[in-house]
């Protein structure tokens, strides 16, 4: 798979290829499990939003195996599980977050640790 750059973005978007893989990697986390998003600050590409780093959430869904976006930005094709994680508003923003607020973020397995 070629590295995505400015010259081939339009063609890649038209093609609509999926980053989903058929690899059978075992899941480290299960639905309902509490996890903490890693507090990382890499110098290169990452898909973990800063506002969830170091915060605790609950796995809502195992999305399956995908090409790990961080590695793909370096031209590597590394398979990794992707999870949908629910973060309560209060966990993210304190009392201003509201007790009924929540944000769902799709996070790769290497971004998470069991809580």
Q: What is the pLDDT of residue 1?
A: 54
Between 54 and 76, residue with greater pLDDT: 54
Second-level CATH architecture of 19-114:
Roll (2.30)
Distance of CA 4 to the CA centre of its chain: 19
Domain boundary assignment for the chain: 19-114
The pLDDT value given to residue 17: 65
pLDDT at 74: 86
* Average pLDDT of the residues in 76-84: 94
Does the pLDDT at position 33 exceed 90?
Answer: yes
Q: Of all residues in the chain, what percent carry a pLDDT higher than 70?
A: 97
Q: Whole-model pTM?
A: 0.83
pLDDT > 80? residue 21: yes
The pLDDT of residue 45 is 82
| Reported confidence tier of residue 18, pLDDT bands at 50, 70, 90 | confident
């Amino acid at each position: 798979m070629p590295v995505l750059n400015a010259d081939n973005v339009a063609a890649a978007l038209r093609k609509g290829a999926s980053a989903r893989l058929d690899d059978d990697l075992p899941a480290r986390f299960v639905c309902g499990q509490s996890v903490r998003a890693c507090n990382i600050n890499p110098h290169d590409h990452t898909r973990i939003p800063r506002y969830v780093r170091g915060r605790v959430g609950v796995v809502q869904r195992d999305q399956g195996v995908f090409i790990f976006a961080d590695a793909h930005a370096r031209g590597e094709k590394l398979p990794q599980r992707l999870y949908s994680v629910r973060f309560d508003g209060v966990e993210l923003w304190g009392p201003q977050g509201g007790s009924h607020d929540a944000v769902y973020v799709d996070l790769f397995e290497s971004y998470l640790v069991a809580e």
